[in-house]
């Protein structure tokens, strides 16, 4: 056997006489880990075999793909999720998986190398029907990233998600006022929350008040520790978020949604006083139900008590969402109640209060930019301008 660089050439003696075959080592499959080889037989001389192999070797040295992968989109997507999820916060994993599943449903067992720009464009056009622009863009970004990694690993030569045309989606005419509560609607709901008597729901009113008076996310509220709350100086420090699989399993993450989410919020007397009351009640309930030695290792602000089990548990998102679902089923309010509604409500009330910039509101909420926040802010401020003009007009025409 003769060798030249990565080219292996060997002689074969058969019925048709002597022929030569070349073999090229092409690394390992990034998905299966198996060795990849390129080979071809039937050359009359070793020199011919090497000459035929040289262009392929040159492509290998340039990092180009020389072996067409037979892996299907689903097979690759499953492996990609495993790898990519290692770099994600657990709270972001469900979004990643659900969007990749959208691609799996469409492309399924089609070989990933056979997916063309036309195929991907057709997928986008179909998926766009009846969906919001943000939903479509989220799926596209994730799937484009998936294909980019396939190019990086030489599984495919080019990304079919490049150079596509995003389908035009007409904005829905959803009434923006349904996205937040007015001042009176909020006060009515808080009165209801104060008297809510669900099982182990003593925390419900102080939690709702915190959401409405700070605009923090539900995951951020669930992750709050008493060490993050300075009642004396009236501040709440947001530095973490809660990831929960169900009503009992959770993980308090070391950081919230993004860097801009790390912030200190100044609160007023109303919330500070209520949190002080809740802290006293929480300590009293621990004595009453004997949960001092059967409570979370971390001193969470919002906890619920299981009386029969003498147990104290951190309040998680699914538990709160379940209460909102029960309230909505009874149709007690004109608007659907959900945790993020209070975040939007906080934006509207800050804007209505006047003399507060959009940038200041975004900083308080912990994001650099948000389309919904901007829409609510502009809606309220435009309404205020109109009210001001009408008040002046009424005064001058009396």
Query: Residue for token digits 């300075």?
Result: 230
Sheet of 2-4, strands arranged across: 2-4, 7-14, 17-28, 35-43
Task: Please determine, for residue 246, whether its predicted confidence score (pLDDT) is greater than 70.
Answer: no
Tell me how long the chain is.
398
What percent of the chain shows pLDDT beyond 90?
44
More confident residue, 107 or 1: 107
Task: Please determine, for residue 176, whether its predicted confidence score (pLDDT) is greater than 70.
Answer: yes
**Distance set, CA 51 to CA 1, 4, 18, 20, 55 (Å):** 16, 10, 18, 12, 8
Q: Which domains does the chain have, with CATH numbers?
A: 2-61 (3.10.450), 73-152 (1.10.150.130), 177-380 (1.10.443.10)
Task: Please determine, for residue 133, whether its predicted confidence score (pLDDT) is greater than 60.
Answer: yes
Interval 148-173: pLDDT, tens: 998 887 788 899 999 999 998 876 65
- Give the three-class secondary structure for 214: helix
Residue 199's pLDDT is what? 74
More confident residue, 340 or 250: 340
More confident residue, 122 or 200: 122
Question: Predicted confidence band at 10 (pLDDT cuts at 50, 70, 90)?
Answer: confident
Alpha-carbon distance of 77 to 290, in angstroms, equals 49
Predicted structure pTM score: 0.67
DSSP 150-190: HHHTTSSSS-TTTT--PPP-PPP---GGGGS--HHHHHHHH
Give the mean model confidence (pLDDT) for residues 98-119.
94
Residue 52's pLDDT is what? 84
Task: Please determine, for residue 241, whether its predicted confidence score (pLDDT) is greater than 50.
Answer: yes
Residue 42's pLDDT is what? 83
Question: Predicted confidence band at 4 (pLDDT cuts at 50, 70, 90)?
Answer: very low
Locate 263 and state its tokens.
């912030």
**Side-chain-facing half-sphere of 396: CA atoms under 13 Å:** 6
Task: Please determine, for residue 361, whether its predicted confidence score (pLDDT) is greater than 50.
Answer: yes
Alpha-carbon distance of 156 to 147, in angstroms, equals 8
Task: Please determine, for residue 98, whether its predicted confidence score (pLDDT) is greater than 70.
Answer: yes
Task: Please determine, for residue 393, whether its predicted confidence score (pLDDT) is greater than 70.
Answer: no
Question: Predicted confidence band at 5 (pLDDT cuts at 50, 70, 90)?
Answer: very low
Please, what is the average pLDDT of the chain? 85
Give the mean model confidence (pLDDT) for residues 317-345.
93
Q: Which of 188-197, 214-223, 359-368 has the lowest mean pLDDT?
A: 359-368
Residue 296's pLDDT is what? 79
Task: Please determine, for residue 235, whether its predicted confidence score (pLDDT) is greater than 70.
Answer: yes
Task: Please determine, for residue 389, whether its predicted confidence score (pLDDT) is greater than 70.
Answer: no
Residue 3's pLDDT is what? 41
Residue 1's pLDDT is what? 42
Interval 23-77: pLDDT, tens: 877 666 655 566 667 778 888 898 898 888 887 777 666 555 545 567 899 999 9
What percent of the chain shows pLDDT beyond 70?
85
């Amino acid at each position: 056997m003769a060798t030249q660089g990565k080219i292996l050439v060997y002689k074969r003696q058969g019925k048709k006489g002597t022929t030569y075959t070349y073999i090229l080592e092409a690394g390992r499959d990034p998905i299966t880990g198996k060795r990849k080889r390129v080979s071809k037989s039937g050359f009359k001389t070793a020199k011919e075999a090497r000459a035929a192999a040289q262009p392929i070797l040159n492509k290998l040295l340039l990092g180009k793909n020389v072996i067409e992968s037979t892996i299907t989109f689903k097979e690759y997507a499953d492996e990609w999720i495993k790898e990519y999820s290692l770099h994600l916060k657990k709270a972001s994993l469900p979004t990643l998986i659900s969007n990749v599943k959208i691609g799996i449903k469409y492309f399924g067992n089609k070989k990933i190398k056979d997916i063309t720009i036309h195929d991907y464009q057709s997928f986008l056009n179909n998926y766009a029907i009846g969906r919001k622009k943000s939903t479509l863009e989220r799926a596209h970004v994730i799937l484009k990233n998936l294909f980019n990694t396939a190019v990086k690993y030489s599984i495919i030569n080019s990304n079919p998600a490049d150079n596509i045309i995003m389908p035009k989606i007409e904005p829905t005419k959803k009434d923006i006022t349904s996205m937040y509560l007015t001042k009176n609607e909020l006060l009515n709901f808080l009165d209801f929350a104060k008297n809510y008597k669900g099982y182990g729901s003593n925390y419900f009113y102080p939690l709702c008040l915190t959401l409405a008076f700070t605009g923090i996310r539900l995951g951020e509220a669930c992750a709050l520790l008493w060490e993050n709350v300075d009642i004396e100086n009236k501040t709440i420090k947001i530095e973490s978020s809660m990831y929960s699989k169900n009503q009992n399993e959770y993980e308090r993450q070391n950081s919230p949604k993004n860097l801009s989410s790390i912030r200190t919020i100044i609160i007023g007397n109303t919330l500070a006083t209520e949190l002080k009351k809740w802290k006293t009640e929480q300590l009293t309930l621990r004595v009453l139900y004997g949960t001092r030695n059967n409570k979370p290792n971390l001193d969470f602000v919002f906890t619920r008590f299981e009386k029969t089990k003498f147990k104290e548990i951190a309040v998680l998102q699914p538990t709160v969402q379940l209460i909102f679902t029960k309230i909505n089923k009874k149709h007690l309010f004109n608007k659907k109640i959900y945790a993020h509604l209070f975040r939007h409500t906080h934006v509207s009330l800050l804007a209505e209060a006047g003399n507060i910039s959009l940038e200041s509101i975004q900083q308080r909420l912990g994001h650099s930019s948000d389309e919904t926040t901007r829409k609510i802010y502009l809606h309220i401020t435009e309404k205020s301008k109109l009210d001001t003009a009408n008040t002046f007009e009424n005064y001058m025409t009396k």
